[in-house]
Amino acid sequence: MTNIRPVAALLLGGMLAATPALGPALAQSKGQIERLQSLETQVAALGGPVEVAQLSPSVAADFEIRLQNLERSIQDLTGKYEESTYQVTQLRERLEKVNADVDFRLKELEKGGGNTGGAMGGAMGGAMSDAAPSKPAKAAADDKKAADKPAQSAAANPPSTAGLSPEKQYEQAFELLRNSDYDRAEKALQEFIAKNKSHAYAGNAQYWLGESYYVRNKFPEAAQAFAEVLSKYRTNPKAADSLLKLGMTLQQMNKKSDACTAFGQLLTKFPEASASVKRRADTERKRINCPA
């Protein structure tokens, strides 16, 4: 009995010593209990337990309908986007084919222009006699010199443009070029440019004038024509093509350094040039071993 009393005294002393540390915790618990009792009192005053608000069936149905409409709209937009993407892809492929076809035609023209005499002479003669008026039948009775005169006159003079709009004049000149009637095309293009310097087609006409010189191996005239496109019609769609053909013309004139400069400037001055023009410039640079 004498041993138990000291132990009890020690335990009681420890509890009393710990009381100051438990004070704040007990006070906090008491505050939480009071808040809980206050909330219970407020709930009771409202007339019962508080439940989470539920949507009425009509409102829920309306939300469901709206959600379904949104889903359908998204599906429609997705379908239209995919269709537009497909159409853009198709247009891009068609454009690439057109560019390839134009490149092929220009190469054929250049090949034709490279054969001085022979085949080129025959093609030029045939084209000019096709385009000439039907006077040789009457001149057949005369001597050969008299028969050649009407053909030469017809070849030198382009068709009359009296009363034609600038667009029709351009189409007429371009048709002569397409028919390989280069002499008359040259005159017609020069006339169009002189009369319509500020027209939207003036830059195109200047470019095709250079082409008419190039295919006939008139390289100095071609270089000047292409250079004028770059100086007078810098924003024309044919400007990049003109710089490419200027480089090719300078190459034909044995001005390799200038030609390489032209090919190099094409990418820096005309980054928006078509893929076919850029490929052709790169091919020509490699062909004449331009420095990298």
Q: For 137-185, what is each residue's pLDDT tens digit?
A: 444 444 444 444 444 444 557 677 777 899 999 999 999 999 999 999 9
* Centroid of chain to Cα 283: 22
Phi-psi region of 112 (alpha: psi -120 to 50; beta: other; left: phi over 0): alpha
Count Cβ atoms below 10 Å from residue 37 Cβ, excluding itself: 10
Please identify every stretch of the chain with a pLDDT value under 70, giving residue numbers as ranges. Answer: 1-33, 35-37, 39-40, 42-57, 59-60, 63, 86, 90, 93, 96-156, 158
What is the reported pLDDT for 30?
63
What is the reported pLDDT for 141?
44
Rg, C-alpha atoms of the chain:
45
The answer, as to whether pTM is greater than 0.75, is no
Residue 272, CB-side half-sphere exposure with 13 Å CA sphere? 5
Whole-number Å distance between alpha carbons of 15 and 63: 63
Q: Which token pair is 198? A: 């500020």
